[in-house]
Amino acid sequence: MNVPYSNSKGEGGGSAARTASKLRFMIMGAIGALFLNNLLISSRHHHSNSWSSSSPDMQSHVGISRPISATGAGGVRISSDFYSTSDRLVEEKPASSLELSASEETANGSNAPHLRHPRILMGIFSSDNMFDGTHRTWHRRLFENIWKDERVCTLSQFRNDNTTQQKCELIYTFVSGSNTDPNAPTERLEDTDTKDTPIELISGYKNPLKDDINWPDVTHLNIQENMNEGKSQTWFYFASKLADQFSHSSTPIDYAMKFDSDSILRLHDFLEFAHTRLPPAPYNTNIFGGALRDKGPWYHDNSKLSHPASELSRYESHWGREYDGVHIYLAGQCYFMSMNLAKFVASEAPFSRVRVAKGGYIEGHEDHDIAAMVYHSPLPINLITIGKTQRFWEHPVKGAPRYQKIVKRETARVNKTPYEGKVLRLY
């Protein structure tokens, strides 16, 4: 009996063969693509390395620049390459960004942009009396005779010497209310800063008790000297106005600081803090920093700063509404703020006396009142709280023994000689 021929098995075998063939082609294609991709990556890597190594300009932005020493009061200034760290921070970029076309190199320059260090204007509050005169001498001795650091300059030097200006990161000035007219205001802001009544008295004191109060490193505000009646507000207005003058220059000022006369700076600790914690413009927005204080103890029965209960609502309503009743401020021994906040404080100061109720929300304690103005900003505040072990200043330094110990320590630091058994780090 003849059995009909069936082709089902043959057809199935042919289909399997075709499938296997397609699979082999796919695998070979994938292997080929992987080989070409690796070849391309290797070629690009070799090209990038040879380009970078052959172009000094491409490497110059990661090197340590060597500033030229500048001279000033106190003799030769110490160049920043004397210290242990680079004087430049470099903005990181992905490797792909190095592959620029010729037109992009021409437009952008071959060097990556530097992320510069911040620049701080430090106002050391001072007045024409014997106590503050002594402290001015102490501050000057450290700045000009011991540290002699080119990263530090007086405000007068910053304004008048372009070479100094380019290198200066900490601009210091003694701040004095120098109008001795008994009818002069204790606060001067934008509305009273006019051609006839400018914010600054260039001539200084007419009959100074201490001649050094009229030295160029003193800023003479056109107000009566005072402690809690507007000097701080006037200073931050002055600082913000000065910053506006330099805002589009190559040396913008990023922060304003208020510093007590009997506080003493630890310069190298401060520079390290500034370089690692304070971003420059345009990233320095609504930053406020210093030693934290709690207003709560003011309401204790024996507090010298207590207020009658009838005044509670105007002093505390904003804090209750915006901050859940938490009421803080920064100690006046040293605090700083970004320049946009300094400008805000200057604009808020006139309203601080009328908001909420007659008399406003200020309480006659100027360091507290400045913080209260800051916290009326409509934008969130970036608060930097500095604990006792983190501070870059000492306070209070009222007597010569403590000051002489500071001088001995800082002299040893700069000379790289042991102090109390160890060599102190320079920054």
Structural tokens at position 246 = 């330099």
Q: pLDDT above 90 covers what percent of the chain?
A: 68
Cα angle value 370/375/378 (rounded, 5°): 130
Say yes or no to pLDDT of 241 above 80. Answer: yes
Domain range summary for the chain, segments of one domain joined by +: 120-303+328-415
Say yes or no to pLDDT of 112 above 60. Answer: no
Q: Which CATH class is domain 120-303+328-415?
A: alpha beta
419 alpha-carbon distance from chain centroid: 30
pLDDT of residue 409: 99
Q: Do the beta carbons of residue 374 and residue 337 sit within 8 Å?
A: yes
Say yes or no to pLDDT of 120 above 70. Answer: yes
14 alpha-carbon distance from chain centroid: 77
**Angle (deg, nearest 10), helices 339-348 and 366-374:** 110
| Mean pLDDT to the nearest integer, 135-141 | 99
pLDDT of residue 311: 82
Q: Is the sign of the CA dihedral 345, 182, 364, 134 positive or negative?
A: positive
The 3-state DSSP class for residue 83 equals coil
Structural tokens at position 303 = 């507090």
Structural tokens at position 395 = 């306070």
pLDDT of residue 15: 53
Q: Can you name the residues that pair with 382 across neighbouring β-strands? A: 287
pLDDT tens digits along 2-42: 444 344 444 444 555 555 555 565 656 655 555 444 444 44
pLDDT of residue 114: 64
Q: Do the beta carbons of residue 254 and residue 286 sit within 8 Å?
A: no
State the amino acid at position 281 in one-letter form: A
| Mean pLDDT to the nearest integer, 325-332 | 97
pLDDT of residue 71: 40
pLDDT of residue 8: 42
pLDDT of residue 73: 45
Q: pLDDT above 70 covers what percent of the chain?
A: 74
pLDDT of residue 303: 85
Give the lowest-confidence range in 81-95, 125-139, 238-252, 359-373: 81-95
Rounded Cα gap, residues 230 and 175, in angstroms: 13
pLDDT of residue 356: 87
| Mean pLDDT to the nearest integer, 131-160 | 99
Whole-Å CA distances, 221 to 51, 132, 174, 199, 200 = 56, 16, 10, 6, 5
pLDDT tens digits along 251-268: 999 999 999 999 999 999
Say yes or no to pLDDT of 53 above 60. Answer: no
Structural tokens at position 123 = 């106002």
Whole-Å CA distances, 285 to 114, 341, 344, 371, 377 = 19, 8, 11, 16, 12
Say yes or no to pLDDT of 118 above 70. Answer: yes
State the pLDDT confidence band at 291, using cuts at 50, 70 and 90. very high
Rounded Cα gap, residues 344 and 9, in angstroms: 89
pLDDT of residue 78: 72
Name the DSSP letter for residue 178: B
Say yes or no to pLDDT of 232 above 70. Answer: yes
SS3 content of the chain, % helix, strand, coil (to 5): 45, 15, 40
Rounded Cα gap, residues 236 and 217, in angstroms: 18
Rounded Cα gap, residues 241 and 190, in angstroms: 9
pLDDT tens digits along 189-214: 999 999 999 999 999 999 999 999 99
pLDDT of residue 30: 56
- Rounded to two decimals, the pTM is 0.76
Structural tokens at position 42 = 């290797």
Rounded Cα gap, residues 224 and 184, in angstroms: 6
Kindly give the pairing relationship between strand 255-259 and strand 170-177.
unpaired
Rounded Cα gap, residues 231 and 219, in angstroms: 12
DSSP-derived secondary structure for 276-343? HH-PPTTS--SEEEEEEEESGGGGSTT-TT---GGGHHHHHHHHHHHHTT--EEEEEEEEEEEHHHHH
Query: Would you call 110 exposed, middle or buried from its count of C-beta atoms within 10 A (0-12, 13-18, 19+)?
Result: middle
Cα angle value 195/200/201 (rounded, 5°): 95
pLDDT of residue 305: 81
Name the DSSP letter for residue 78: B
pLDDT tens digits along 75-89: 577 776 655 443 433
The 3-state DSSP class for residue 175 equals strand
Kindly give the pairing relationship between strand 152-154 and strand 218-221.
unpaired
pLDDT tens digits along 343-385: 999 999 999 999 988 889 999 999 999 999 999 999 999 999 9
Kindly give the pairing relationship between strand 328-338 and strand 255-259.
antiparallel
Cis bond before residue 396 (omega within 30° of 0): yes
